Structure 1
Amino acid sequence: MEPSKNPLSLHLRIRDGLSRIAMVMRVDDWNAAKTTALNPTQFAILSLLAARARTGLAVKEIAAHLGVSQPTATDSINALERKGYLRKTPDPRDGRAVSIGLTPEGSEALLAGKAEDGLAAQAVEALDGGEQEDLLLCLIKMIRHLQERDAIPVQRMCVTCRFFSPYAHSDSERPHHCHFVDAPFGQSELRVDCQDHHEADPAARAAAWTAFKAGLTDPHSQSGKE
């Protein structure tokens, strides 16, 4: 029997588990949004823009990151603008477009909605440090897989950044190096969304990923250490 047809197959049980977590996260999103009299899409837009305060995003970028249609994104953006939570400015990258950014009032609304940890955050906190690190590494692998197949927009992860050097140091606690801040860092500090991210070219990105994966299997096999 093919694994995809077998209800007891490991990958289907993992998918089932992820779907339960996703359900709880949707509940968390609704609860956070309700505290600010917003819907989850509007609240997600605030969260997305808060992480991109330096540059803002175009409407099509917001829609792509949230996995919604441009008309849906536009309706939510307009509603948030009427509330004074967003502002539109000319997009320096495209004279015909606008860049969407948070206002101070939008930032305050976002903070009010995130005042308490949701159930999903509490579930993560129930894991010990090693389990959290392992989960982070698994998520990074899954996100990269989706990104490389154009299933999701480019994610601002360390492993796709031109400043990232995997296993550049012999220190097992801080094996990686970030050339942006010129400092070593550890596995638990790997970022999924970094505002200082600069996407590496495809060849460099592939080489870094190959070295990163090899180091996960055998950190001592990596060359180029101090």
Structure 2
Amino acid sequence: MDHAPKPDPVLTRLREGFERIALVLRADLWAAAGKAGLNPTQAQVLALLAARPAGLRPKEIAAHLSVSAPSMADTLAALERKALLRRTPDPADARAVIARLTEEGAAQGQALAAAATQVTAALARLSPGEQADLLLAQVKLIRTLQQAGAIPVQRLCVTCRHFRPNAHPGEAAPHHCAFVNAPIVDRDLRLDCGEHEAAAPAVQAATWTAFTGG
């Protein structure tokens, strides 16, 4: 009889760890949303769009939050009734709309995105080196999931045309951001940068090789 190979116990433990952290994050989200008079999905939409003042199409928001299109339509309608969001025609496609936050919605979204959580407090107890190592691990995990199509395209430094990995070898700040024309350290790496401009696929591949090889 064939037996399926047993999963690597370390991989199993890591997955279990993420699941437990996700439970705390979900509880924190419910609490923050309740204080703001919102449900969790509404709070997530505000936090997402607060970092995207140009707005997103409803289907893009649904993809980012992994919810169905009908559910997202209900959520956006509710936020519109609360005067926290408005939907306007998409200049690039007359059949589509763009969802943007109102001034009040942006303020609430920024507050929700910056809200202190139990996970934030736990992360603050890690050393600066541990925080940097964890951020690097997240960058690698998110890029892998993005390439697999498991999550929408993220605005990562490592996929941006402005990012120069290991441009300053041996220096305390080894990388370089051409957008601000300044060296950056691993702790400066962004998972969602507002100035992100996607590099061509071949450039992204070369950047990744230089980043991981450095």
TM over 0.5: yes
Deviation at 1:213, TM superposition (A): 0.5
Identical aligned residues as a percent: 52
Give the C-alpha shift of residue 87 in structure 1: 1.1
Across the aligned residues of Structure 1 and Structure 2, the Cα RMSD in angstroms comes to 1.5
Cα distance in 2 for partners of 1:133, 1:92 equals 40
1:198 aligned partner, one-letter code: E
Equivalent position of 2:198 in the other structure: 199
Distance in 2 separating the partners of 1:196 and 1:88: 23
* Aligned positions, number: 211
| Partner in structure 2 of residue 2 of structure 1 | 5
Aligned CA distance change for structure 1 residues 115 and 14 (closer, same or farther; 3 Å): closer
The 5 A counterparts of 1:69-80 are 69-80=68-79
In structure 2, what is the Cα distance between the partners aligned to 1:89 and 1:171?
A: 50
- The answer to whether the Cα contact below 8 Å between 2:49 and 2:106 also exists between their aligned partners in 1 is no
> Which whole-Å CA distance do the structure 1 matches of 2:180 and 2:212 have between them?
23
- For the pair 1:138 / 2:113, whether they are aligned, the reply is no
Contact 1:43–1:110 (8 Å) recurs in 2 = yes
**Aligned residue for 2:100?**
101
Match of 1:211, SS state, is: helix
Equivalent residue letter for 1:117: A
Task: State the Cα distance separating 1:178 from its structure 2 match.
Answer: 1.0
Q: Which amino acid aligns with 2:62?
A: A
Please say if residues 35 and 113 of structure 1, whose CA atoms lie closer than 8 Å, have aligned partners that are also in contact. Answer: no
Q: Is the 8 A contact 2:50 2:110 kept in 1?
A: no
The aligned residue for residue 23 of structure 1 is 23
Mapped pair 1:85 → 2:84: yes
Q: Which residue of 1 aligns with 2:178?
A: 179
Aligned to 1:118: 117
Report the TM-score, using the length of structure 2 for normalisation: 0.94
C-alpha deviation, 1:71, in angstroms: 0.7
- Tell me how far 1:107 sits from its aligned partner: 2.3
2:61 & 2:203 partners in 1: Cα distance?
Answer: 27
Structure 2 distance, partners of 1:203, 1:115, is 35
CA distance in structure 2 between the aligned counterparts of 1:115 and 1:207, rounded to whole angstroms: 34
Deviation at 1:108, TM superposition (A): 3.0
Gaps of 5+ in 2: none
> Partners in 2 of 1:152 and 1:113 — Cα distance?
22
Structure 1: runs of 5+ lacking an equivalent:
216-226
1:42 and 2:42 are equivalent in the alignment: yes
Equivalence for 1:190: 189
The answer to whether the Cα contact below 8 Å between 2:160 and 2:204 also exists between their aligned partners in 1 is yes
Over 3 Å counting, the alpha-carbon distance change for 1:112 and 1:168 in structure 2 is closer
Residues in 1 aligned to 2:47 and 2:145: alpha-carbon distance in whole angstroms: 21
Letter in 2 for 1:196: E
In the other structure, the counterpart of 1:66 is: 65
SS for the counterpart of 1:170 is coil
| Partners of 2:160 and 2:72 in 1: CA distance | 28
Provide closer, same or farther for how the CA distance between residues 154 and 170 of structure 1 changes in structure 2, counting only shifts above 3 A: same
Once the two structures are superposed, residues 110-154 of structure 1 have per-residue CA deviations (whole angstroms, 9 ceiling, x without a partner) of: 355467511111111111100000000000000000001111111
Separation (CA, whole Å) in 1 of partners of 2:114 and 2:61: 24
Does the aligned pair in 2 maintain the 1:36–1:112 contact within 8 Å?
no
